[in-house]
């Protein structure tokens, strides 16, 4: 994987933790949510969400059932809203073909879902799908794995190792954005710390933005600069970390 120069993003002015603002065509904005709504089985899961997600590191926090994972799935068209719209880099998300979008906006799910075979075969499959060359050792390293993991059978990995392999597989497609759905919720503290260290290293070495769903405010403090806080499917706060999670 070719290292890219880190792009420092200044938090958007005009945002506070208690207000929603239209963003327009600000180039530092990754996603703009405009009156988003989604229902499931007669229940409103997301209700009138309007907010911005800038480049850099964002956390989506809130209690269980707040709609966090549902919102994450909307960001790469694994689900579609019933109302409102999402813009990605100033263009309607619906104008992007789903597969092309998912190569640029990769998702690491909450539970590992690796293909049968070795770690290397999983990474090669992802890279070929995206039409990208694979720099195997470097990609493994960015996920906190050494080169010896390439030939390991995924069935023999611990849950923490599987989660890191999932991260490496997502990175093999060279995404510009990583969506992370509770990536450490099933891990012990040691494995969690390893994943978090890998994510911090990604931020320091690669020009890549992350959107992390977490139920843990302390994890959000460790891994994000910008926060969306959801409660009951509605936006309860949006802005810089220090304001929203004071």
Show the tokens assigned to 92. 């309607």
Please give the average per-residue pLDDT across 79-102, as a whole number. Answer: 94
Residue 205's pLDDT band, with cuts at 50, 70 and 90, is confident
Backbone angles phi, psi at 69, to 5 degrees: -65, -35
pLDDT tens digits, 131-182: 999 999 999 999 989 999 999 999 999 999 999 999 999 999 999 999 999 9
Long-range pairs of 195-202 with CB within 8 A, sequence gap ≥ 24: 195/144, 195/160, 195/163, 195/164, 195/167, 196/222, 196/223, 197/144, 198/142, 198/143, 198/144, 198/164, 198/167, 199/167, 199/223, 201/142, 201/144, 202/142, 202/171, 202/178
Cα 159 to the center of its chain, rounded Å: 19
More confident residue, 106 or 185: 106
Would you say residue 9 has pLDDT above 70? Answer: no
Residue 112's pLDDT band, with cuts at 50, 70 and 90, is confident
What whole-number percentage of the chain has pLDDT above 90? 73
Domain positions in the chain are 29-239
Quick one: which H or E segment has residue 7? none
Q: Are 33 and 51 a contacting pair, CB within 8 Å?
A: yes
Q: Are 193 and 25 a contacting pair, CB within 8 Å?
A: no
Alpha-carbon gap, residue 188 to 178, rounded angstroms: 22
Please give the average per-residue pLDDT across 59-81, as a whole number. Answer: 95
More confident residue, 118 or 16: 118
For the beta sheet containing 177-181, the strands, ordered from the edge strand earlier in sequence to the opposite edge, are 105-108, 177-181, 209-214, 57-61, 226-231, 234-240
Would you say residue 64 has pLDDT above 80? Answer: yes
Q: Alpha-carbon Rg of the chain, whole angstroms? A: 17
Chain position carrying tokens 């963003």 = 23
pLDDT score, position 169: 96
Show the tokens assigned to 45. 């899961």
Would you say residue 209 has pLDDT above 50? Answer: yes
Q: Looking at the domain covering 29-239, what would its CATH class be?
A: alpha beta
Residue 49 is given by DSSP the state E
DSSP bridge partners of 60: 213, 228
């Amino acid at each position: 994987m070719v290292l890219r120069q880190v792009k420092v993003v200044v938090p958007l002015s005009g945002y506070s933790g208690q207000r929603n603002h239209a963003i327009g065509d600000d180039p530092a904005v990754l996603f703009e949510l405009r009156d988003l709504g989604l229902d499931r089985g007669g229940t409103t899961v997301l209700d009138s969400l309007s907010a911005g997600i800038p480049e850099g590191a964002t956390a989506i926090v809130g209690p269980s059932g707040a709609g966090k994972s549902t919102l994450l799935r909307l960001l790469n068209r694994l689900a579609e809203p019933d109302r409102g719209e999402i813009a990605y880099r100033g263009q309607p998300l619906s104008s992007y073909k789903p597969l092309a979008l998912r190569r640029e906006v990769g998702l690491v799910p909450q539970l590992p879902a690796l293909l049968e075979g070795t770690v290397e075969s999983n990474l090669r499959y992802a890279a070929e799908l995206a039409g990208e060359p694979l720099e195997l050792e470097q990609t493994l390293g960015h996920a906190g794995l050494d080169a010896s993991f390439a030939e390991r059978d995924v069935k023999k990995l611990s849950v923490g190792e599987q989660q890191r392999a999932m991260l490496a597989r997502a990175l093999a497609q060279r995404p510009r954005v990583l969506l992370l759905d509770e990536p450490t919720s099933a891990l012990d503290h040691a494995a969690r710390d390893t994943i978090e260290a890998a994510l911090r290293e990604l931020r320091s070495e690669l020009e890549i933005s992350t959107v992390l769903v977490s139920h843990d405010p302390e994890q959000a403090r460790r891994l994000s600069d910008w926060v969306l806080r959801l409660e009951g499917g509605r936006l309860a706060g949006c802005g810089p970390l220090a304001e929203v999670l004071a």
